[in-house]
Amino acid sequence: MARTRSLKPSFFSNDLLAECEPMARLLFAGLWTLADRDGRLEYRPKRIKGALFPYDNCDVEQLVQQLASRGFVQVYTAGTIRVLSIPTFGDHQRCHPDERSEGFPAPTDGTENIEFHGRNEKPGNPTGEPGNFPATCASYPSSYLPSSSYPSTSCAPTKPAPRSGSKPADPLLWTESGWQGITDADHAEWSQAYPAADLPVELAKAHQWLKANPKKARKSNWRRWLTTTWLCKCQDRGGTHREPGNRPGTGPAPTPPERKRFYRADAAKHMTDAEHQAWREAQRQPQEAR
């Protein structure tokens, strides 16, 4: 699924990227929209072409080769999956806090790189050997090194640097075995915010409800769901051990209203049905005694 990404002005002045074909440069920007928040995506050239160049006749693998030979992307295998990674993705993109990672494995020292077939025409590799450039920047002429504002480096791909200002992952999670990551500080804050809620009881009730509703047990923010949805509603209903028919602030359940009185012509007064019936019985008794 494509995402909204940002493009810096230095993208167009990068002399290393300018050595690639225009379609390769456009592909590099397009890969940002396909990559997850970690800067990785499954490397499937046909699918990438269908998503980025549905109306163009181009060879995505040949374009990726140009980017990989200059360190802009890294293609490797992890098990049975081919993964494409953008090493400096985290330095130049600020993803939405709720955006999820697709879970593709990160490149490691033991990861098998995919070899491209072709000759490397990059200055600094006069022998023209196929494959990537040396792993160090020392073998590159200084005139080819990009500034820190460029969207890439000429060094070998590395893991994306952690994004500054990003929130750490919340340890509070729910699994079928129970709640995880709830601290003593959480218990203290929730006891103060929701005094009517019996926390052990409510946590157990929420756990059983999620197990009984697995389709609804998919939350991106478990803390928000547990506090604003479960505990807050429990507090509004009067708490865990509330009396039936009694909510906070409403007092005891109202008593049923009195029955209406109607004017009875034979008795010449207003009476309820029960009172009128008793009056008529009293009138019959003297007549029966005669």
Domain spans in the chain, listed from the N-terminal domain onward: 9-144, 173-236
Give tens-digit pLDDT for 249-274.
455 554 444 567 788 888 888 888 88
Structural contact between residues 163 and 101, judged by C-beta atoms closer than 8 angstroms: no
pTM summary value: 0.40
pLDDT at 127: 39
Structural contact between residues 87 and 39, judged by C-beta atoms closer than 8 angstroms: yes
Least confident of 57-61, 154-158, 236-240: 154-158
Give tens-digit pLDDT for 173-232.
888 888 988 999 998 999 889 998 898 999 999 999 998 998 888 888 889 888 988 998
- DSSP-derived 3-state class of residue 56: coil
Query: Between 58 and 151, where is the model more confident?
Result: 58
What gap in Å lies between CA 154 and CA 24, rounded to an integer? 16
Residue spans of beta strands (DSSP E) within the chain: 40-42, 74-78, 81-85, 112-113, 173-175, 178-180, 262-264, 269-271
| C-alpha dist (Å) from residue 265 to 71, 269, 283, 286 | 104, 7, 14, 20
Tokens 């507090």, residue located: 235
Please, what is the average pLDDT of the chain?
Answer: 76
Q: Please provide the size of the chain in residues.
A: 290
Give tens-digit pLDDT for 2-11.
678 888 888 8
* Topology, domain 9-144: Arc Repressor Mutant, subunit A (1.10.10)
pLDDT at 75: 92
CA pseudo-torsion sign 236, 240, 245, 246 = negative
Residue 146 has pLDDT above 50, yes or no: no
Percent of the chain having pLDDT more than 90? 21
Residue 20 has pLDDT above 90, yes or no: yes
In Å, the largest CA–CA distance within the chain is 138
Nearest alpha carbon to residue 182 among 191, 194, 173: 173
> What does the radius of gyration of the chain's CA atoms come to, in whole angstroms?
36
Residue 31 has pLDDT above 70, yes or no: yes
Residue 38 — pLDDT band, cuts 50, 70, 90? confident
What gap in Å lies between CA 98 and CA 95, rounded to an integer? 8
Structural contact between residues 81 and 104, judged by C-beta atoms closer than 8 angstroms: yes
Residue 159 — pLDDT band, cuts 50, 70, 90? low
Query: Between 68 and 146, where is the model more confident?
Result: 68
